[in-house]
C-alpha cells in the first residue's frame, strides 16, 4: 500500500471516530431538533390559548362572593340572634375623588390606563408560584383583581388563573377603564368587615368617600395588600412599619406619574385611622355574644378574613328565654337601683355574668355589660378583677384530692377544726401572712364547714399552706383558671389573682359535674355555605377531680347558702351550692352558685367611668355601704335562677359523700370551752357579712407588718371534736400578695 492510500485510510478512521464520539445525546439533541421542539410547544400553547379564549366567556352574573350573605348567629332553638357580615355600599366613580382613584392605581398597577388588562410577566410569576405552592405571590393587574373579586373565586389554582387572564382581556375590551376601576374599588375587602371604599371610609375615618383626602386614600389603597395585618388599630409594630412603607410607596409613585405635586407630597403626614366602631346591629348583649363566638372560632383556625367574607351560619348554646331572664335579673336587682346622676359611684358599677349547663358545657346565657356599643369590654370574659373568696373551695378541693393534713398530721375534712382568730399568723410558711377576717371577727376553734359558711380568711390562709400552695395553683389550672398568672404565695388563698365570670363558671360547673372537666363553650356549630363544618372542641372533658372530692365540696357549699354568707339565694324548691366573694378595697363582689341543672357566676366590678377606666371601689354603690357578694350578685343570681329553671324546680344533688352540710349537720363544739368565741349555731344575721359594718376596714399597716405579730393564745379545740388545732413553724417574712392588700370580704 502506497503512502497516499495510507493517508486516506487514516482520514477515514478519524472521521469514523468523530462520528462515534458525536453519537448518543449529540444525535438526540441537535440544535435543529431543540429549535423545532421549542416552536412546537409555543404553537401548542398559542393554539391552546386561542381555544381557551374561544371557550371561556365573561360570566353573565357576579359570583356569590360579590353578593355574599351576612353571617347569621342563631340561638339554641334556631331563631336568629344577630346578622353581621358584608358591610358594603357601592359608589359611582364620580363620587371617588380623582386623586383617591390615582392612589389605587399607584399602589396596585401603575400601567393600568395603558395595559390590555393583563400583566403577562406578573401572571406567569403568579402561576409558577402557585405550582410551587407559594400561595398569593402573583402580579395581577387591577383588571385581573376585579375579575377575580367579581366573577371568579379566591382559589389559588392554575385553572382559575388561566380563566382570569382570558376574562380580563375580554373585560378590558368590553368595559371602560373607569368602570373597571370603580368595580375593583367597590368589591375589594379593606378589613374591619368593610367591603368597598364607602364602607372603608366610614370604618377607618368616619367620612364618606367623596370627602376622603389623598393621604387617607393612600392608606386605604395600601390596606388591600394585607387588611388584617395593616389595620393600624390591631397591627403589630412590624405591621405598622410595613403599611407606612406601603403608604409612602403609593404617594411616591403618584409623584413619579405626575399625579401629585412634589411639594405637596412632602407636606403629607400619615393619617392614623380612627379606632374600630362596633356595628350598630350589635347593640345590647348581642355584640358580646357575637364577639365571643368569633373569638372561639378563631381559636379553631377560622381567620378574620374568613369571617369577613360572610356566608356563615353560627349556632350558639344560648337559650333565648334564659338570656332574657338574665338580662331582666340584672336590670331588676341592680341597674334599676343605680343613679349615676345622684351618686358618682353608681356609674362605676359594672356587672358580668355567665350561665352554663353543667351536663353539656354550653353557655346558655351571658351578660357582658350595659351594652356592647356603650361598654366595649365584655365583663363576662374579662379576667382583671380578683375572684376573692370564690377561690376558697379550690383550696378545700385540693386538700381532699391530695389527702392533705394539717401541720400536726390531722387529715383535712369539712369537720377538721382550725383556729379562726382574725390576724392569726399562718404556720409553716417561709412567707409570713396574717390576714384579717371580715370586720375583724374572731371565731376561735371552728370547723372547715363553718369557716366556709362564713368565709373565714384566717382558716383558709392556713389551709392553703397546709395543703401546699403549688398544689392549689395546679388544681386551679386543672379546673380552668389561668394558673400561669398565679403566684404560689399565701395571699393566693384569698383569691388575689385575676379571674373572669366565664372561668369561675367553668370551675364550679366541674364541681357540679362530679369532677368531670367543664370548659364552657358558646358555639355549638359553625359552617360556611356548603363547606365542611368547623371542628369544635368537646366542652366536657375527663375526670380532673374524683367524684367524692367534687361532691364533698358541693356538700360543703350548700352550707354557705343554708347558714352562711349566701343566704340571699336560699330556696326550698331546689338544692343550691355556692360561694360569695368580696375583694380587696371592695373593688369586686361575686356570687358563684349552682343547682343540679345550672351553674351561674355573677361578678360586680368597680371600674372608673372616666378614662383610663381603672379599678375603683364599689363602696356606696346603690346608696348603701360595702357591696358584698351576698348582696347584688347573689340577688341577681337568685332572680335569674328562679326564672331560668322553669319547671325543673325539684332538682336535688346526687352526692357521693358522707361529709359536709349537704349530707350531715356540721359538728358544733361544746359551749363549755368555746361559747365565748363561737356561737353554737349562728343565725344568718350574726354569721353573714352581707350588711355593712359600722367599723372601718383595717388599713394595710394594720393587717400586714414587716414582722409577723405574736400569736395570741388560742382556745383549745372543742371536746366534741377529736381533731386538734393545726400547728406549724415560724414565719420569715410577710406576704403582701405582690402589693395587693388582703381581702376583708367574704
Query: What DSSP assignment string belongs to 206-226?
Result: SS-GGG--HHHHHHHHHHTT-
Taking only the tens place, the pLDDT of each residue in 636-666 is: 999 999 999 987 767 899 999 999 988 855 5
* Percentage of residues in the chain having pLDDT higher than 90: 60
Q: Does 722 score more than 50 pLDDT?
A: no
Look at residue 96 in the predicted model and tell me its pLDDT.
97
Average pLDDT over residues 487-499: 95
Q: Does 746 reside within a domain? A: no
Q: Which three cell numbers stand for residue 268?
A: 403629607
Q: Does 143 score more than 50 pLDDT?
A: yes
Look at residue 584 in the predicted model and tell me its pLDDT.
80
Average pLDDT over residues 525-548: 94
Q: Which three cell numbers stand for residue 194?
A: 368593610
Look at residue 123 in the predicted model and tell me its pLDDT.
62
Q: Which residue has the higher pLDDT, 682 or 511?
A: 511
* Alpha helix positions (H), 175-213: 177-187, 197-205
Tell whether 507 and 637 lie within a shared domain.
Answer: yes
Going by pLDDT thresholds of 50, 70 and 90, the confidence category of residue 679 is very low
Q: Which three cell numbers stand for residue 476?
A: 386551679
Q: Does 566 reside within a domain? A: yes
Tell whether 261 and 410 lie within a shared domain.
Answer: no
Look at residue 611 in the predicted model and tell me its pLDDT.
84
Average pLDDT over residues 611-625: 91
Q: Does 560 reside within a domain? A: yes
Q: Does 135 score more than 50 pLDDT?
A: no
Look at residue 662 in the predicted model and tell me its pLDDT.
86
Average pLDDT over residues 510-531: 95
Which of residues 251, 267, 283 is at a domain's end?
Answer: 267
Number of domains in the chain: 2
Look at residue 479 in the predicted model and tell me its pLDDT.
97
User: Which structural domain range is residue 533 located in?
Assistant: 388-734
Going by pLDDT thresholds of 50, 70 and 90, the confidence category of residue 19 is low
Which of residues 202, 235, 267 is at a domain's end?
Answer: 267
Which of residues 225, 246, 267 is at a domain's end?
Answer: 267
Centre a 10 Å sphere on the Cβ of residue 555 and count the other Cβ atoms it contains: 23
Average pLDDT over residues 216-231: 95
Mean pLDDT of the chain: 83
Going by pLDDT thresholds of 50, 70 and 90, the confidence category of residue 212 is very high
* Alpha helix positions (H), 346-456: 392-401, 448-454
Average pLDDT over residues 65-78: 81
Q: Which residues pair with 604 in a beta bridge?
A: 351, 589
Pairwise CA distance, residues 415 & 511, whole Å? 20
Taking only the tens place, the pLDDT of each residue in 370-423 is: 999 888 899 999 999 999 999 999 999 999 999 999 999 999 999 999 999 999
Tell whether 392 and 262 lie within a shared domain.
Answer: no
- Asked if 655 contacts 515 with a C-beta cutoff of 8 angstroms, the reply is no
Look at residue 684 in the predicted model and tell me its pLDDT.
34
Q: Which residue has the higher pLDDT, 37 or 187?
A: 187
Tell whether 259 and 394 lie within a shared domain.
Answer: no
Strands 588-594 and 599-606: antiparallel
Tell whether 685 and 536 lie within a shared domain.
Answer: yes
3-class SS at 350? strand
Q: Does 30 score more than 90 pLDDT?
A: no
Q: Which three cell numbers stand for residue 151?
A: 366573577
The CATH number of the domain holding residue 204 is 1.10.3810.10
Average pLDDT over residues 117-140: 59
Q: Which residue has the higher pLDDT, 122 or 638?
A: 638
Q: Does 52 reside within a domain? A: no
Name which of 716, 681, 469, 727 is nearest 562 in CA terms: 681
Among 50-54, 240-244, 701-705, the range with the most confident prediction by mean pLDDT is 240-244
Q: Does 156 reside within a domain? A: yes
Centre a 10 Å sphere on the Cβ of residue 210 and count the other Cβ atoms it contains: 13
Taking only the tens place, the pLDDT of each residue in 558-589 is: 999 999 999 999 988 899 999 999 998 899 99
Average pLDDT over residues 273-302: 91
Q: Does 223 reside within a domain? A: yes
- Asked if 448 contacts 459 with a C-beta cutoff of 8 angstroms, the reply is yes
Pairwise CA distance, residues 728 & 426, whole Å? 8
Look at residue 115 in the predicted model and tell me its pLDDT.
86
Tell whether 485 and 624 lie within a shared domain.
Answer: yes
Q: Does 535 score more than 90 pLDDT?
A: yes
Q: Which residue has the higher pLDDT, 660 or 611?
A: 660
Q: Does 223 score more than 60 pLDDT?
A: yes
The CATH number of the domain holding residue 445 is 3.40.710.10
Average pLDDT over residues 138-155: 77
Q: Does 293 reside within a domain? A: no
Average pLDDT over residues 523-544: 94
CA angle 481, 486, 492 (to 5 degrees): 100
Look at residue 101 in the predicted model and tell me its pLDDT.
97
Q: Does 235 reside within a domain? A: yes
CB-based contacts of 413: which residues, under 8 Å, 6+ apart? 400, 448, 552, 659
Strands 577-582 and 540-543: unpaired
CB-based contacts of 592: which residues, under 8 Å, 6+ apart? 390, 501, 504, 505, 507, 508, 578, 579, 581, 599, 600, 601, 602
Amino acid at each position: 500500500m502506497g503512502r497516499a492510500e495510507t493517508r486516506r485510510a487514516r482520514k477515514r478512521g478519524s472521521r469514523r471516530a468523530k462520528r462515534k464520539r458525536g453519537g448518543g445525546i449529540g444525535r438526540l439533541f441537535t440544535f435543529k431538533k431543540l429549535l423545532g421542539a421549542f416552536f412546537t410547544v409555543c404553537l401548542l400553547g398559542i393554539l391552546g390559548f386561542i381555544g381557551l379564549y374561544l371557550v371561556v366567556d365573561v360570566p353573565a352574573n357576579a359570583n356569590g362572593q360579590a353578593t355574599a350573605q351576612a353571617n347569621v348567629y342563631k340561638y339554641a332553638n334556631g331563631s336568629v340572634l344577630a346578622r353581621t357580615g358584608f358591610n358594603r355600599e357601592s359608589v359611582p366613580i364620580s363620587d371617588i375623588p380623582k386623586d383617591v382613584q390615582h392612589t389605587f392605581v399607584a399602589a396596585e398597577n401603575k400601567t393600568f390606563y395603558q395595559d390590555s388588562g393583563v400583566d403577562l410577566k406578573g401572571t406567569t410569576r403568579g402561576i409558577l408560584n402557585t405550582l410551587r405552592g407559594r400561595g398569593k405571590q402573583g402580579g395581577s393587574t387591577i383588571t385581573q383583581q376585579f375579575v377575580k373579586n367579581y366573577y371568579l373565586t379566591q382559589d389559588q389554582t392554575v385553572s382559575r388563573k388561566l380563566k382570569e387572564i382570558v376574562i380580563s382581556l375580554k373585560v378590558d375590551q368590553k368595559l371602560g377603564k373607569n368602570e373597571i376601576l370603580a368595580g375593583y374599588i367597590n368589591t375589594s375587602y379593606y378589613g374591619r368587615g368593610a367591603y368597598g371604599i364607602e364602607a372603608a371610609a366610614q370604618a377607618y375615618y368616619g367620612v364618606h368617600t367623596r370627602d376622603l383626602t389623598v393621604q387617607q386614600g393612600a392608606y386605604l389603597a395600601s390596606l388591600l395588600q394585607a387588611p388584617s395585618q395593616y389595620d393600624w388599630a390591631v397591627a403589630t409594630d412590624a405591621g405598622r412599619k410595613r403599611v407606612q412603607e406601603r403608604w409612602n410607596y403609593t404617594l411616591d409613585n403618584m409623584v413619579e406619574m405626575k399625579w401629585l405635586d412634589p411639594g405637596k407630597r412632602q407636606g403629607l403626614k400619615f393619617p392614623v385611622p380612627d379606632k374600630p366602631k362596633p356595628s350598630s346591629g350589635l347593640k345590647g348583649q348581642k355584640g358580646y355574644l357575637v364577639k365571643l363566638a368569633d373569638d372561639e372560632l378563631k381559636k379553631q383556625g377560622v381567620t378574620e378574613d374568613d369571617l369577613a367574607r360572610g356566608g356563615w351560619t353560627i349556632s350558639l348554646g344560648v337559650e333565648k328565654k334564659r338570656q332574657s331572664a338574665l338580662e331582666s335579673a340584672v336590670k331588676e336587682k341592680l341597674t334599676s337601683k343605680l343613679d349615676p346622676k345622684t351618686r358618682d359611684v353608681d356609674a362605676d358599677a359594672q356587672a358580668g355574668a355567665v350561665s352554663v349547663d353543667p351536663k353539656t358545657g354550653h353557655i346558655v346565657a351571658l351578660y357582658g355589660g350595659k351594652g356592647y356599643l356603650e361598654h366595649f369590654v365584655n365583663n363576662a370574659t374579662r379576667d382583671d378583677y380578683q375572684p376573692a373568696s370564690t377561690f376558697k373551695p379550690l383550696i378545700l378541693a385540693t386538700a381532699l384530692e391530695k389527702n392533705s393534713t394539717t401541720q400536726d398530721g390531722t387529715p383535712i375534712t369539712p369537720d377538721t377544726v382550725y383556729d379562726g382568730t382574725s390576724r392569726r399568723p399562718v404556720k409553716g410558711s417561709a412567707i409570713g401572712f396574717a390576714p384579717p377576717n371580715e370586720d375583724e371577727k374572731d371565731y376561735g376553734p371552728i370547723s372547715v364547714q363553718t369557716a366556709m359558711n362564713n368565709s373565714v380568711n384566717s382558716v383558709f390562709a392556713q389551709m392553703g399552706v397546709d395543703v401546699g400552695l403549688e398544689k392549689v395553683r395546679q388544681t386551679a389550672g386543672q379546673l380552668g383558671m389561668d394558673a400561669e398568672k398565679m403566684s404560689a404565695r399565701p395571699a393566693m388563698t384569698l383569691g388575689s389573682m385575676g379571674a373572669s365570670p366565664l372561668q369561675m363558671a367553668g370551675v364550679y360547673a366541674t364541681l357540679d359535674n362530679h369532677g368531670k372537666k367543664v370548659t364552657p363553650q358558646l358555639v355549638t356549630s359553625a359552617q360556611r355555605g356548603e363547606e365542611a363544618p368547623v371542628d369544635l372542641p368537646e366542652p366536657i372533658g375527663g375526670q380532673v377531680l374524683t367524684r367524692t372530692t367534687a361532691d364533698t365540696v358541693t356538700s360543703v357549699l350548700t352550707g354557705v347558702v343554708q347558714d352562711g354568707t349566701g343566704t340571699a339565694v336560699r330556696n326550698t324548691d331546689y338544692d343550691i351550692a355556692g360561694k360569695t366573694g368580696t375583694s380587696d378595697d371592695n373593688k369586686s363582689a361575686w356570687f358563684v352558685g349552682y343547682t343540679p341543672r345550672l351553674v351561674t357566676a355573677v361578678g360586680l366590678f368597680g371600674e372608673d367611668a372616666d378614662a383610663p377606666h381603672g379599678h375603683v371601689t364599689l363602696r356606696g354603690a346603690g346608696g348603701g355601704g360595702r357591696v358584698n357578694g351576698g348582696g347584688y350578685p347573689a340577688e341577681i343570681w337568685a332572680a335569674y335562677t328562679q326564672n331560668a329553671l322553669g319547671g325543673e324546680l325539684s332538682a336535688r344533688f346526687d352526692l357521693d359523700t358522707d361529709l359536709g352540710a349537704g349530707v350531715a349537720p356540721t359538728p358544733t363544739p361544746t359551749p363549755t370551752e368555746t361559747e365565748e368565741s363561737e356561737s353554737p349555731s349562728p343565725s344568718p344575721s350574726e354569721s353573714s357579712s352581707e350588711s355593712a359594718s359600722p367599723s372601718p376596714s383595717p388599713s394595710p399597716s394594720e393587717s400586714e407588718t414587716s414582722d409577723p405579730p405574736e400569736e395570741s393564745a388560742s382556745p383549745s379545740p372543742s371536746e366534741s371534736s377529736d381533731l386538734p388545732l393545726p400547728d406549724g413553724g415560724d414565719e420569715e417574712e410577710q406576704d403582701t400578695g405582690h402589693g395587693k392588700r388582703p381581702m376583708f370580704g367574704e
